[in-house]
Amino acid sequence: QVQLQESGPGLVKPSETLSLSCTVSGGSISGYCWSWIRQPPGKGLEWIGYMYYSGGSNYNPSLKSRVTISVDMSRNQFSLRLTSVTAADTAVYYCARYPNVYSSVVDPWGHGTLVTVSS
Amino acid sequence: QSVLTQPPSASGTPGQRVTISCSGSSSNIGSNTVSWYQQLPRTAPKLLIHSTNQRPSGVPDRFSGSKSATSASLAISGLQSEDEADYYCAAWDDSLNGVVFGGGTKLTVL
């Protein structure tokens, strides 16, 4: 059974870059799309984007200028990079498998990691 | 402001049937399938319904989904205390070219 685990700093300073990794275990990263979704404290879910294991990506238009998702097949990991962060980027960040492009199915999800943007 | 609109709260007593609505537009619910997610307190969301009305393995048949035009619904029958959670609808949006979520509905079992 595929499991995902996020890792990375829990605190990032304003204007700096948020970097998170997601390790996939119990299955290969090959053959699927992989996604990041975030949830500000006490608020709803926001889709950040996805990347196909072999390249090709799609990002939320509202974040597109600041976001990069990349895949490292040798480590069975994928990563999120969000530049020029502000307090509005404070959220729990979830990594997840995105099995079918152009669908809304995201499964399974990681446990999530809280990233706080503060000086 | 979420693209899909859900009521912020819903409630019911044990054994009751409750319905949660999700309103969208022709570019999302109107032309694509709908998914529903259940988020128990302090946990990650879990896929509850996919392809508008299909339950993944392990999801009780008390949960069902439906769609009509640009609106979708999640129905929970035989409500149980463990169903107390936040529920989110989602769909692919052809105009935004991405996944859009509802704002979430907090279900309270009285």
Report the residue of chain A nearest B101, measured CA to CA. A45
One-letter identity of residue B91? A
Task: Show the low-confidence residues of chain B (pLDDT under 50).
Answer: none
Instruction: Check: CB of residue B5 under 8 Å from CB of residue B23.
Output: yes
Q: How far B17 CA lies from chain A's nearest CA (Å)?
A: 24
Tell me what the pLDDT averaged over chain B comes to. Answer: 97
Give chain B positions within 8 Å (CB) of A99: none
Instruction: Check: CB of residue A49 under 8 Å from CB of residue A37.
Output: no
Over residues A2-55, the pLDDT tens digits come to 999 999 999 999 999 999 999 999 999 999 999 999 999 999 999 999 998 888
Q: Is B103–A106 a contact, with Cβ atoms under 8 angstroms apart?
A: no
Q: Is A104–B35 a contact, with Cβ atoms under 8 angstroms apart?
A: yes
Quote the CA–CA distance of B2 and B100 in Å, as a whole number.
8
One-letter identity of residue A56? G
